[in-house]
Amino acid sequence: MSLKPNLLIKVLASIASFGIIVGAIYATMTWAAGQADETAIQRQDSLVRLVVSKMQERIAHDQESATVWDDAVRKVREGDREWIDANLGSWMHTYFGHDAAFVIGPANDLIYGYSDVDTDPEKAYSTVSLKVRELIEDLRERLATGDTSGLSRTMLSIGETDIVSINGSPAIVSIKPIVSDSGEIQDVAGKQPLHIALRYLDADFAQSLGADYLFAEMQFAWAREDVERRYFPLAARDRTAMGYLSWKPFLPGTAVLQATKPAMILGTVLVAGALAGLVVLLQGRADRLRKSQGELYYLAHHDPLSGLPNRAAFKAEVEKTLATSEAAVLFLDLDRFKQINDTLGHPVGDRLIVDVAARLKSAVSAGAMVARIGGDEFTVLVPASKSVDVEQLAEQLIAAIRQPFEIDGQPILIGLSIGIAFSSPGNSEARDILRRADIALYSAKSTGRNRYVIFGAHMEEMAKTRRDLEQDLRAALDSRTQIEVHYQPVYAAENSHLIGVEALARWRHPIKGLIQPDVFISIAEDAGLIDRLGEQILQTALADAKKWPSLSVAVNASAVELRSDTYALRVAAALERANFDPSRLEIEITESAVLGNEDACRRNINSLRQLGVGFALDDFGTGFSSFGRLQQLDVDRIKIDRCFVAAYGTENNNGIVQAMISLAHAKGLKITAEGIETNEQKAWLCALGCDDLQGYLLCKPVLPEMISDMYNRLRAVNSQK
Ligand code: C2E
Ligand code: CA
Ligand code: CA
């Protein structure tokens, strides 16, 4: 498992703080252990001191068992060496373990001597006497002065004791006078015989001391040489050092500490491990939580298809930006995206959106934000601080989208319209700038696609005008007097005879005057008025055309109308009511009408065709997949769009038109060329084999009275024939 650096830091920090706590506990324990050890050592020292002094006392006490005794006084006076040996000498060695015993007379002369280290008592005493002379003198003086200090029920006679070094070995020496126990025998004070007992503080002594009082490895040492050991200094009364009793001190604190150490280390490791595990676990949980929060946040703020920020995120960003600075907002809308989606399917549409998003993103510099706010609607936010030339950016975006896309090997061409709005110092409302960009986009789309439009104050006016017009159109439809129909004649190519008319709607607004269909058809579509409008136009056209029985009449149908389930029914009813020959009526539809709701469209077309109504595909060549569409649609005619006519003579164009015509002919369709403005165009289209011709060159749309005049003149000519 590899830890992320910050997680590692957290784990280490937790372990470190745990370590500090453990360290503090350990330090406290060590301190307490030290205190316990210290107390224990002091006790052991006191014990040794006590034992040594008790030993001195005991030797004195041992001596008194024989020195305070009438017999002893007597036998010493007599010089009974045997008796002395049995009671004051070797006996004391066997019985009390004394190492040497000497009895000296009033002049400190050796009366008796015993030593278990030296077979020659004289020599032994000569060594000892040097060390104990002062003690002897002291004692005799005290005896002479009748000093009785220190006497008690258990201490019957005064004495002197000290620790002396004999031949390099420390020894307890105790001196007692040999006195009468009954008081019957008296010596001269200070001149009593003395008994000197010696007990070496040697290995033997140390060992038995250790065994008796449970000191570990108790031994005699000349110097302090081992820090682990305890040393009790043996010293004479005059403080002369005599070496040490040394033992391994019993350290209860350390012992406890040592005993608990493994458990403590194990516990520490376990707790640290558990702690680290816990931190990793919690961190993992926090990470997951943060991640899922992040994912939720991402989902709430991003468009899942393109990965771009969504509408909500964009709006929030605009608000944020406008709070501190000026900015430009671009509204982008793909031209003809709906058609692609409908013809090639949603999966292709989705992939196109993804590709478009990628291109937009790479065209927009860092610092600007691209968002997808709807099906084929994108937005760009450019903060003023980025000092981006917004118009140049708009051009770049359009150019980027204009480049053909390729999906599944199929080239796809689409366009882009852009509306731009700049924030103004007085107005930092996000809602306002978004609305303005939207209005500008609308303007861009309605004034021709693949372009950008910057919001101007007049557009707000336009938007208002549009709302006003919508109201006025409602009133116009109610009044049934304002909607007029003009007619543009259609001529046979072969002989230029008038053969039909195309009905084109006009709105005679009571105040604004004549309004063109380009303006009000889309308003009617948006406002849901197109069905009523279409019906009025159809009724008017049928009524007018009744006067021109030999002419066909073409009526334009809006895409919105054609998708309605009741369209065919309404047309049939109008034909019925006007008692009009259905075969004289031709309905012009555009490709986009058929897209999206093909079933409803086809049903409308088929049922009307069964009545004899003809259908023409208008604006042919501008749609998305014109040729493909021809296979599926049951139409009688195509109308070559006037942009192809206007482009007469330019490269490629003539070939395309020629191809369209031969294809249509091959399928048995009639062909009308519309928008003919020059004789060259007319001659060219005639030569290519167009059936019918239409255009300003031949005749502009005119009032029905004009058509009546033309029709009557035609009849006059014909009847003359
Ligand atoms: P459209 O169906 O393609 O109609 C032909 C348009 O081309 C007409 O414009 C006509 O005046 C114009 N035109 C004809 N010859 C020439 C020419 O030689 N040069 C030029 N530059 N233009 C020419 P109009 O009447 O303004 O209609 C515009 C569009 O409005 C129509 O295009 C049609 O799509 C729609 N429209 C017109 N009347 C109706 C209607 O009653 N119902 C529906 N749904 N749409 C209508
Ligand atoms: Ca038309
Ligand atoms: Ca047309």
Each residue's pLDDT tens digit, 555-589: 999 988 998 889 999 999 999 999 999 999 999 99
List the residue whose alpha carbon is closest to atom 43 of ligand 1.
556
Say yes or no: 82 and 31 in one domain: no
Residue 225 covered by a domain: no
Q: Based on DSSP, count helices (H) and strands (E) in the chain, helices before strands.
A: 24, 24
Cα 714 to ligand 2 centroid, rounded to whole Å: 24
Query: Nearest bound ligand to CA 616?
Result: 2
Cα 518 to ligand 3 centroid, rounded to whole Å: 12
What does each C-alpha distance from 187 to 105, 106, 177, 182, 194 come to in angstroms? 11, 9, 10, 13, 12
pLDDT for 57 beyond 60: yes
List the residue whose alpha carbon is closest to atom 25 of ligand 1.
504
Cα 342 to ligand 3 centroid, rounded to whole Å: 22
Residue 626 covered by a domain: yes
List the residue whose alpha carbon is closest to atom 42 of ligand 1.
556
Lookup: tokens for 541: 């056209």
Per-residue pLDDT averaged across 615-632, rounded? 71
Query: Nearest bound ligand to CA 702?
Result: 1
Residue 146 covered by a domain: yes
Average pLDDT, the chain: 88
Cα 440 to ligand 3 centroid, rounded to whole Å: 27
What pLDDT is stored for residue 36 in this prediction?
A: 87
pLDDT for 630 beyond 80: no
Each residue's pLDDT tens digit, 249-272: 888 888 888 888 888 888 888 888
Q: Which of 396, 420, 455 corresponds to the end of one domain?
A: 455
CATH value at residue 158: 3.30.450.20
Say yes or no: 319 and 293 in one domain: no
Say yes or no: 79 and 145 in one domain: yes
At 515, give phi and psi (nearest 5°): -115, 135
What does each C-alpha distance from 285 to 100, 278, 281, 292, 473 come to in angstroms? 85, 10, 6, 10, 63
List the residue whose alpha carbon is closest to atom 3 of ligand 1.
619
Residue 553 covered by a domain: yes
What pLDDT is stored for residue 375 in this prediction?
A: 86
Distance CA 442, CA 460 (A): 11
Per-residue pLDDT averaged across 681-698, rounded? 96
pLDDT for 1 beyond 50: no
How many domains does the chain contain in total?
A: 4
Nearest atom (ligand 1) to Cα of 537: 41
Residue 215 covered by a domain: no
At 223, give phi and psi (nearest 5°): -145, 160
Say yes or no: 44 and 72 in one domain: no
Each residue's pLDDT tens digit, 471-493: 999 999 999 999 999 999 999 99
Nearest atom (ligand 1) to Cα of 517: 30
Say yes or no: 168 and 275 in one domain: no
What pLDDT is stored for residue 624 in this prediction?
A: 54
Each residue's pLDDT tens digit, 59-77: 888 888 888 888 889 988 8
Say yes or no: 521 and 647 in one domain: yes
Per-residue pLDDT averaged across 331-349, rounded? 85
What pLDDT is stored for residue 627 in this prediction?
A: 61
CATH value at residue 591: 3.20.20.450
Say yes or no: 503 and 632 in one domain: yes
Q: Which of 455, 471, 497 corresponds to the end of one domain?
A: 455
Say yes or no: 487 and 449 in one domain: no
Each residue's pLDDT tens digit, 86-100: 888 888 888 888 889
Cα 505 to ligand 1 centroid, rounded to whole Å: 8
List the residue whose alpha carbon is closest to atom 21 of ligand 1.
675
Distance CA 247, CA 243 (A): 13
CATH value at residue 388: 3.30.70.270
pLDDT for 2 beyond 80: no
Task: Give the per-residue SS3 of 309-350.
Answer: ECHHHHHHHHHHHHHHCCEEEEEEEEECHHHHHHHHCHHHHH
List the residue whose alpha carbon is closest to atom 17 of ligand 1.
675
List the residue whose alpha carbon is closest to atom 38 of ligand 1.
504
Residue 522 lies in domain:
482-709
What pLDDT is stored for residue 555 in this prediction?
A: 98
What pLDDT is stored for residue 499 in this prediction?
A: 96
- Collapsing DSSP to helix, strand or coil, 357 comes out as helix
Task: Give the per-residue SS3 of 247-285.
Answer: EECCCHHHHHHHHHHHHHHHHHHHHHHHHHHHHHHHHHH
Best residue among 516, 539, 556, 697 to mutate for probing ligand 1, ranked by most atoms within 8 Å of CB: 556
Per-residue pLDDT averaged across 533-552, rounded? 97
Residue 392 covered by a domain: yes
CB 391 within 8 A of CB 452: yes
Taking the model in full, what pTM does it have?
A: 0.52
Lookup: tokens for 437: 């960009």
Q: Give me the DSSP letters along 137-151.
A: HHHHHHHHHT--TT-
Distance CA 302, CA 296 (A): 10
Nearest atom (ligand 1) to Cα of 506: 38
Each residue's pLDDT tens digit, 357-395: 999 999 988 778 999 998 889 999 999 887 789 999 999
Query: Nearest bound ligand to CA 588?
Result: 2
Q: Which of 260, 276, 300 corresponds to the end of one domain?
A: 300
CB 176 within 8 A of CB 159: yes
Say yes or no: 317 and 295 in one domain: no
Nearest of 212, 208, 207, 214 to residue 249 by alpha carbon: 214
Cα 588 to ligand 3 centroid, rounded to whole Å: 8
Task: Give the per-residue SS3 of 405-447.
Answer: EEECCEEECCEEEEEEEECECCECCHHHHHHHHHHHHHHHHHC
- Collapsing DSSP to helix, strand or coil, 651 comes out as coil
Residue 246 covered by a domain: no
Cα 74 to ligand 3 centroid, rounded to whole Å: 167
Query: Based on C-alpha coordinates, what's the Rg of the chain?
Result: 65
Per-residue pLDDT averaged across 108-127, rounded? 86
Residue 53 covered by a domain: no
Cα 437 to ligand 1 centroid, rounded to whole Å: 29
What pLDDT is stored for residue 707 in this prediction?
A: 97
Say yes or no: 29 and 125 in one domain: no
Say yes or no: 27 and 146 in one domain: no
Cα 594 to ligand 3 centroid, rounded to whole Å: 16
Per-residue pLDDT averaged across 264-286, rounded? 84
What percentage of the chain reaches a pLDDT higher than 90?
40
What pLDDT is stored for residue 595 in this prediction?
A: 62
Say yes or no: 390 and 324 in one domain: yes
What's the residue count for the chain? 721
Best residue among 482, 504, 536 to mutate for probing ligand 1, ranked by most atoms within 8 Å of CB: 504
Ligand 1 first shell, C-beta below 6 A: 488, 503-505, 516-518, 521, 537, 556-558, 588, 618-619, 642, 674-677, 694-696, 701
Cα 618 to ligand 3 centroid, rounded to whole Å: 5
